[in-house]
Amino acid sequence: MTNLVLDNRDSALAELKKLTKNVKIAFSEVHNEFEDHLEGINENTNEIQSNYEYICEVDNKISKLNERIDDIYNVLSNITGKKLKKMPSYEDIDPLTTEEKNVFLNLYTEPESISYVELAKKMNMPISLTRQYITNLLEKGIPIQKEYKKTRPFIYLDKKFKNLQAKKNVLKIEQKILT
């Protein structure tokens, strides 16, 4: 009887060793798959970062081109003796929804540029929704400007439009929205 117990015990130990080996192999395979997946994520992250840096460079170049265009307007004004202005037209702004008006007003009341994250927190809404409303405002003709500070995007209203809105209420925003 003791031999039978010993044989069963030895058999169980051998089976346990076999199972342990199989588990280690399975975990090793899972570990390798995770490493491959992590490598893929890192490659995508690097590509996204490179694209973002490129967009920042392009945005800076556009800003410099705008400055040069302004210089050209000044030179042409001096040559012709007439003051040339490149006044944006704010007559073609589409009506805003109530939520878009709230986003606009929060942006309008900011004395400085604000990040999307800060605006989303201020409005108590998800950042993705805040970004969508900003996109909607831009598509409707609201002149929202963007600048980058330490690679983070910040937005603000064009100062001329802000002044015009204060004087003429271009968007026809009623006082009841403000409360």
Q: What is the CATH number of the domain that holds 145?
A: 1.10.10.10
- pLDDT per residue rounded down to tens, the chain (179 residues): 566 666 777 788 888 899 999 989 988 998 888 888 888 787 778 788 888 888 888 888 888 888 888 888 788 878 877 776 555 566 667 888 889 989 999 998 898 999 999 999 999 999 999 999 999 998 888 889 988 888 888 999 888 888 877 776 666 666 554 44
Question: Does residue 90 lie in a domain region?
Answer: no
Any domain includes 72: no
Say if 31 falls within a structural domain.
yes
**Is 172 found in the same domain as 103?**
yes
> At which of 20, 44, 64 does a domain end?
64
- pLDDT the model gives residue 174: 62
* 8 domain-assigned: yes
Question: Tell me, what's the pLDDT at 178?
Answer: 46
| pLDDT for the residue numbered 71 | 83
pLDDT score for 165: 76
Residue ranges making up the domain that contains 60? 1-64
Which of 163, 157, 153, 145 is CA-nearest to residue 103? 157
pLDDT at 155: 93
> Of the residues 49, 64, 79, which one is the last residue of a structural domain?
64
Q: What is the pTM of this model?
A: 0.51
With respect to residue 71, please indicate whether it lies within any of the assigned structural domains: no
Residue 12 lies in a domain: yes
Residue that has been written with the tokens 């970004």 in this structure: 131
Residue 80 CA to residue 73 CA, distance in Å, equals 10
Same-domain pairing of 166 and 103: yes
Residue 83 lies in a domain: no
Domain boundary among 64, 84, 107: 64
